[in-house]
A and B are shown apart, each in its own frame.
Chain A
Amino acid sequence: MIWFINSLSWALLVVGAMTCVIGGFGMLRMPDFYTRTHAASIADTGGMLLIMFALMLQAGLTLITVKLVLIVLFLMITSPTASHALARAALHDDVKPRLNHDKRMGASGSANDRHDPS
């Protein structure tokens, strides 16, 4: 049983770490600010959750696990707040998103659409 929990925990740690790397890779690969934010959000949701869950398996039913759960809860509240503030600040500062589809209210249909081959 112990080896099963250990292997599961290690597998989750590896997948979580890979998720963070994919997030970082995405930040390099994405074309503009807003799409990069999406790539970064992989690391701080998926990567964070997988690594935290792996650590909970390591800690077992102890106070440490309760603290890890609290960290997850707080990160799930603060990280979207931070991404929202960042994206809103960028929009406020006239960083124009490169869009394929603009379905905002008041947007002039496809006038703002732009297809770039990259």
Chain B
Amino acid sequence: MRYLLGLLVGLAILWLVLSGHYAPMFLAFGLGSCLFTVWLCHRLGSIDAEGVPVDLLPRLPGYMLWLLWQILKANVDVAARILRPGRHISPTMITLTAHQRTPLGQAVFANSVTLTPGTITVGLTDGQAEVHALSEAGSHDLDGGVIDQRVRALESRVRHLSSAGS
């Protein structure tokens, strides 16, 4: 129920922000389309802790700010490697263990790694992420597992999904 309500509230906020029309007729259309979308998602069976990650919401802003800072640092690093004359890259493939408890957490981890310039997740099976890094130094940073720990903290109180591995 909380996930259904969460989705409805989220959609309503999105509609209000994107529409900018607040006449009663438009509001009714908006409500109608939100309810229709919620019904469709319900039929798809996608209203659960994974489809509507409201449990992450309280800790998400802090994580986003930290990730933005990481992205900016990585941008400077990769830009420097591009601009400096000579070869300053050492492409590396590395296998990392994603320690998150839920598939959602592992997806957030893999996406965060990809979002940071200089590292790309090319595969994620059974909690093992295969990552291509532009430099060996970048792969060392990942090996330290800072992103991994942050994402674990992000999902620390997520309810267990039945499909959660190990």
Task: Give the distance to chain A from B88, nearest Cβ to Cβ, in Å.
Answer: 11
A31 to B91, CA, bound (A): 10
Q: Give the number of residues in A that approach B within 8 Å (Cβ atoms).
A: 45
Main DSSP-derived SS at the A contact region: helix
Interface flag for B118 (CB, 8 Å): yes
B91 touches A45 (CB 8 A): no
Please state if A70 and B17 are interface contacts (CB–CB under 8 Å): yes
B95: nearest residue on chain A (CB-CB)? A105
- Most A CB contacts (10 A, CB to CB) among B18, B87, B110 go to B87
B33 at the interface (CB under 8 A from A): no
Chain B interface residues toward A at CB < 8 A: 14, 17-18, 20, 68, 71-72, 75, 78-79, 82-83, 87, 89-95, 110-112, 114-123, 128, 130, 132, 134, 136, 139
Besides A37-B120, A41-B78, A104-B93, 4 other A-B contacts (C-beta < 8 A): A46-B75, A46-B79, A101-B90, A101-B94
| A-B residue pairs in contact (CB < 8 Å), sample of 17 | A19-B75, A19-B79, A22-B82, A34-B91, A38-B117, A38-B120, A38-B134, A41-B115, A49-B71, A80-B111, A84-B120, A87-B120, A88-B123, A91-B122, A101-B91, A101-B93, A103-B139
